[in-house]
Amino acid sequence: KCLIVFLLFIFAGCGVNDRQKEEQKSIQFHYVCSLDERKTTIGRATSIDVASDGSFLVSNGSDIIGYDSLGHQRFVWNKKGRGPNEYLVSQQVRATESAVFVWDSGSTKLLAYDRNGNGLWTYEYNSAICGFYPTDSSIYFYPCGRKWEYVVQELDIESMSVIHSFGSSSMSHKAFQSMNSAVPLTIQDGTLYYMARDKLDLFQVESENERLVEHFSSKTFRCQDITEDLFAINPI
């Protein structure tokens, strides 16, 4: 009996390996560059953002490291602390042509720096987030803490106030946030795209007039069974 069970495990494992090999054949990997880490070693990366020219930023929670498109380090910032223009944990980094934005998950605030690392402003969002996306005039937050009544919120940089809120959160949306089951949001040609986590549907919104342009239904899955009784809300 033990021999039979052992052979079954072997054959099952071979089947899994064969499936994995077939899946790997369908995936194409493209080499970009090797990283030059002679100045600072990344360690465990928490975030990366790639610019249109191929340069990119990497954060490891403490350092913010800039690379050119060939993988050479161009600058290293470490602004960890509790003072002005400092962060506790640089959990996420994003960049535009004129600024670098750092989400501090340790104190739930967003910091903006110019391309030389000088502090521009700090915004206390006072809520955990799953992600954010900057433009030249706005910051789009994907909240998952105190402000998760809405799916997306838009911060106007000039007035430093939330001017738009998109989407209506649901119990299943809040539950699935902890599972990272959907990509949150992105901006393309002035149009906001976001996905609610309780249904993998794509929402397309014109941010200027808050009009839902189109709703693409994936019908991948639905979750209608998560209720107050099954999921205790404990806002961060």
Residue 212 has what pLDDT?
58
User: pLDDT tens for residues 174-226?
Assistant: 777 766 666 677 777 777 787 776 666 777 777 665 565 566 665 555 555 44
Mean pLDDT, 10 residues at a time, over the chain (236 residues)?
Answer: 45 55 58 64 80 86 89 89 94 91 95 94 93 91 86 93 86 70 71 72 69 58 50 41
Residue 222 has what pLDDT?
53
Instruction: Annotate 173-199 with b (16+ C-beta within 10 A) or e (fewer).
Output: bbbbbeeebbebbeeeeeebbbbbbbb
